[in-house]
């Protein structure tokens, strides 16, 4: 008797399925399998079959088509069906004998309460005694979070941290990045990895950390900074090996004692406003969790029905954590993008009067002025190689910029031969949802959004850390982008 592991596509190969006659077919991660992947295994093998997975997490991958000109971003008439796995459809059919696993064995402390309330409708339980749920290591993580937010409730081990004054921007490859989140998150990673009191649940090893950023360029910034911390001695090799960085979409099945979830965005939900992604977001942690997000993800989205639907789950998540006093605001300098900077925006040492501009050496082909260094200190380049305007973020070539890359497809219609700015096809605004213009030229911009966020922050009476917002009111959202 033995076990053979294979992907569905490999298992249907003629040379594999002809001589191989299994006694049991176990289809794991069935929540991510499309109907065709599942059915072909049932058709080609005699069974019995067992499909195992979580219908609440990420579903089958379906490629979007921005030129479709509709809310589904697809010309496929069966797109709604394609988004749902057979496992999810089976569950939605209310089959009475469908078995469900309703125990969360990963989460300790009260980490299981939020996904049970937001995602599972109160059905999933944490089958542990109070002593097992609240081991000494969990209490140690609570004490660590209390240093970040003294107002956190007793024994709570989840915090949502937002940064009034921070801003999301686009990299050369048009992915989203947020330097403030990277700086603050890695400062906390260093404290966790160097702390002798933060251990695994069993207490027999040091704790590990999983950083889960949305968007593909944000992990590169984390990894570059972690390598720098290793080279400078801020982390030793053992500590460096205990922190992992992964995009959320590739983290299904992953877990760590502390998870830092970086939503990156600051002013609209984008694709992160998806209930299945948020289910994955809040179920990776074993002992403690930090979520980097703020009210800008959902405030002011009422005018755009599509964005409002995406913002709903983020608002529910935010309010659920706010209800247990688990939200803390950390002011940020909008100039140097530093959390808890110790100075106001107008007195930032990195203003134009106090920096020297030097030629960028991020890539061999770059010789333009664009890197800055504080007067009297060693050079500190303000962009990475993949952000260099003279290095193509699409093909890596050094003789042209990303916007002029001949190999880059239009991001509106996904066809080659022209760029998005010259696209004659459908252009859908991600701010208002209307067709005919892009976000940067949207005539329906909401000028009251920044004020609404500031009013929300003031009305909640958050405990602010630092003075980066100028007056400490936290009203710095998107001020720099204006």
Q: What is the pTM of this model?
A: 0.70
pLDDT tens track for 175-230: 888 889 999 999 999 999 999 999 998 888 999 999 999 888 888 889 989 999 99
pLDDT tens track for 413-426: 656 666 666 665 55
- HSE (CB half, 13 Å, CA atoms) of 182? 22
- Token representation of residue 458: 């003031």
Greatest Cα-to-Cα distance within the chain, rounded to the nearest angstrom: 75
* Collapsed DSSP state (helix, strand, coil) of residue 405: coil
Higher pLDDT, 247 or 465: 247
- What does CATH list as the number for 8-92? 3.40.50.300
- Token representation of residue 369: 């002025």
pLDDT band at 58 (very low <50, low <70, confident <90, very high): confident
Tell which residue, 164, 172, 182, 218, has the closest CA to residue 479.
164
pLDDT band at 281 (very low <50, low <70, confident <90, very high): confident
Higher pLDDT, 164 or 479: 164
Length of the chain: 482
The whole-number pLDDT of residue 101 equals 67
Q: Where are the domains of the chain?
A: 8-92, 113-344+447-465
Structural fold of domain 113-344+447-465: Rossmann fold (3.40.50)
pLDDT tens track for 17-32: 888 888 888 888 888 8
Are the folds of 8-92 and 113-344+447-465 the same? yes
Cβ–Cβ < 8 Å for 430, 176: no
pLDDT tens track for 113-171: 888 888 777 677 676 666 567 888 999 999 999 999 998 888 889 999 988 878 787 77
The whole-number pLDDT of residue 381 equals 39
CA–CA separation, 450 vs 206, rounded Å?
42
CA–CA separation, 396 vs 402, rounded Å?
9
pLDDT band at 365 (very low <50, low <70, confident <90, very high): very low
Q: Flag whether pLDDT at 350 surpasses 50.
A: yes
The whole-number pLDDT of residue 437 equals 67
pLDDT band at 66 (very low <50, low <70, confident <90, very high): low
Beta strands per DSSP E along 393-476: 464-465
Most confident of 276-280, 340-344, 376-380, 396-400: 276-280
pLDDT band at 351 (very low <50, low <70, confident <90, very high): low
The whole-number pLDDT of residue 184 equals 93
pLDDT band at 450 (very low <50, low <70, confident <90, very high): low
Q: Flag whether pLDDT at 79 surpasses 60.
A: yes
Give backbone dihedrals phi and psi of 380, rounded to 5 degrees, phi first. -135, 95
- HSE (CB half, 13 Å, CA atoms) of 196? 0
Rounded-to-5 percentages of helix, strand, coil across the chain: 35, 15, 55
Higher pLDDT, 319 or 120: 319
Identify the weakest region by mean pLDDT among 296-305, 347-356, 461-470.
461-470
The whole-number pLDDT of residue 428 equals 62
Identify the weakest region by mean pLDDT among 134-148, 270-284, 443-457, 467-481.
467-481
The 10 Å Cβ neighbour count of residue 289 is: 29
DSSP letter assigned to residue 435: B
């Amino acid at each position: 008797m033995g076990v053979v592991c294979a992907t569905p596509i490999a298992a249907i190969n003629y040379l594999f399925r002809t001589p191989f006659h299994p006694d049991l077919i176990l289809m794991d991660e069935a929540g991510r399998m499309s109907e065709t992947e599942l059915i072909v295994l049932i058709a080609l093998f005699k069974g019995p079959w067992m499909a195992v997975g979580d219908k609440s997490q990420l579903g089958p991958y379906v490629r979007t088509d921005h030129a479709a000109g509709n809310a589904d971003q697809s010309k496929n008439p069966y797109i709604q069906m394609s988004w749902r796995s057979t496992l999810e459809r089976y569950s939605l059919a209310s089959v009475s004998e469908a078995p469900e696993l309703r125990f969360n064995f990963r989460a300790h402390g009260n980490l299981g309460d939020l996904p049970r309330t937001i995602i599972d409708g109160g059905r999933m339980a944490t089958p542990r005694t109070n002593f097992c749920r609240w081991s000494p290591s969990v209490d140690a993580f609570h004490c660590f979070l209390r240093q970040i937010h003294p107002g956190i409730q007793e024994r709570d081990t989840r915090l949502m941290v937002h940064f009034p004054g921070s801003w999301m921007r686009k990299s050369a490859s048009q992915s989203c990045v947020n330097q403030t989140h990277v700086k603050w998150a890695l400062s906390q990673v260093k404290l966790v990895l160097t702390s002798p009191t933060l251990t695994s649940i069993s207490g027999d090893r040091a704790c590990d950390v999983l950083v889960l950023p949305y968007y593909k360029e944000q992990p590169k910034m984390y990894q570059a900074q972690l390598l720098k911390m290793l080279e400078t001695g801020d982390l030793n090799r053992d500590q460096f090996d205990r922190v992992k960085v992964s995009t959320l979409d590739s983290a299904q099945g992953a877990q760590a004692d502390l998870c830092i979830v970086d939503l990156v965005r600051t002013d609209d939900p984008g694709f992160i406003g998806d209930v299945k992604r948020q289910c994955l977001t809040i179920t990776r942690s074993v002992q403690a969790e930090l979520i980097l997000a703020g009210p800008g993800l959902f405030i002011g989205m009422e005018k755009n029905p599509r964005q409002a639907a995406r913002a709903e789950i983020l608002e529910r998540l935010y309010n659920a954590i706010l209800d247990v006093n688990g939200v803390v605001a950390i002011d940020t300098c909008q100039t140097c993008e530093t959390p808890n900077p110790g100075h106001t925006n107008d007195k930032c040492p990195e203003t134009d009067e106090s920096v020297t501009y030097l030629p960028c050496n991020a890539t061999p082909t770059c010789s333009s002025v664009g890197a800055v260094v504080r007067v009297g200190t060693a050079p500190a380049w303000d962009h990475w190689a993949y952000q260099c305007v003279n290095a193509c973020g699409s093909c890596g070539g050094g003789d042209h910029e990303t916007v002029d890359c001949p190999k880059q497809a239009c991001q509106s219609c996904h066809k080659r031969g022209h760029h998005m700015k010259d696209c004659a096809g459908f252009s859908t605004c991600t701010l208002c949802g209307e067709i005919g213009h892009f976000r940067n030229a949207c005539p329906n911009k909401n000028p009251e959004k920044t004020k609404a966020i500031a009013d929300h922050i003031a009305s909640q009476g958050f405990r602010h850390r630092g003075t980066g917002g100028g007056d400490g009111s936290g009203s710095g959202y998107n001020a720099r982008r204006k």
